[in-house]
Amino acid sequence: MEIEIPLSKGLSLKIGDSRAGRNKYPTAHLQNGFLLLDQGHELAEEAVGFGVPVLQRGLQTIFPGAVSLTCIQKGSTWHISALYTMNLVEKISRNGDENLENRLLYAAKNIAAGVIRGLPWLRGLLTATSNRLRRYFHLETTYAQIGFSAILTARYLLNTETGKIEVEIDTDGLPADISTVMVMNEQGAHYFDWYQDSSGIAIQGQAIGCWDEVNATEAWFESRIRRVAFKLGQGKDARLFRGRELVGSRLAWAGFGYSFSPSIQRFRYEMSIERFA
């Protein structure tokens, strides 16, 4: 099932379970959230969209592989319930063949990812090293099912006239070994290359960073090419991060991630999509 919801001024949002061939990036195999379209042109690139849950299980990151949707429309208001099947992890393959299974390889990859996000001064060196190793050994990112599956419910309330979206993530029933829940809100990095927030910060391109905490009350990404922005605020009992990565045909996302404990059984936040002059 796929749902496309028209907003004002030529914008629309799309969510559904048809992922194959959506884009050229490895994340095309993941289940996306709401993808933003401008005059029918999709702006997501490698990004997974708005309102997408991701689980942290120790060092393992678990992504959604499928979704079941129900929706009710009442005038300009849409009520959508999404049951995400959380069952995919990132893998590495060589020349697109069978996935490599090496615990040390994945441990090193996870540690490097943590260092890249936590130590800004090392990001350039580690990213460049990773890209060289991938090219030399013909390594590619893919996603595969593991011996784990959980259902997570997300509820969305959209107003097509105002472009406002209320999101609620229900973590009730998650396995006890889930350490962190994240909710991603991102679109394509080629389009959204400006970050601003209510504290007065305004930065562009690589200066945005790949995973830095947001302390301002509100923050937003702008596409000055498309004259559109998406904005959100802090969530109760959660940390808010911003990021943008643009690496060849592998990474092209820009946006935000909330991070919170699974003990918070109902996590809520609001965001808006705006066309500007």
pLDDT tens per residue across span 160-184: 999 999 999 999 999 999 999 999 9
pTM (2 d.p.): 0.86
Ranges of H-type helices in 37-147: 103-118, 123-137
31 close to 40: Cβ distance less than 8 angstroms: no
For the chain, which residues make up each domain, given as ranges? 2-275
State the sign of the Cα–Cα–Cα–Cα dihedral 169, 173, 176, 178.
negative
What whole-number distance in Å separates Cα of residue 273 and Cα of residue 161?
A: 10
State the sign of the Cα–Cα–Cα–Cα dihedral 46, 70, 241, 199.
positive
What whole-number distance in Å separates Cα of residue 49 and Cα of residue 188?
A: 9
Who's near 118: CB < 8 A, 6+ residues apart? Answer: 211
pLDDT, residue 112, reads 58
pLDDT, residue 144, reads 87
State which CATH number among 1.10.3470, 2.60.120, 2.70.98, 3.40.50 fits the domain covering 2-275: 2.70.98
pLDDT, residue 124, reads 56
Q: Which amino acid is at 67?
A: V
pLDDT, one tens digit for every residue, the chain (277 residues)? 899 999 999 999 999 975 555 668 888 889 999 999 999 999 999 999 999 999 999 888 999 999 999 999 999 999 999 999 999 998 776 655 556 565 655 565 565 566 556 656 555 544 555 555 555 455 577 788 888 999 999 999 999 999 999 999 999 999 999 999 999 999 999 999 999 999 999 999 999 998 999 999 999 999 999 999 999 999 999 999 999 999 887 899 999 999 999 999 999 999 999 999 8
State the sign of the Cα–Cα–Cα–Cα dihedral 184, 277, 41, 192.
negative
pLDDT, residue 14, reads 96
What whole-number distance in Å separates Cα of residue 218 and Cα of residue 231?
A: 7
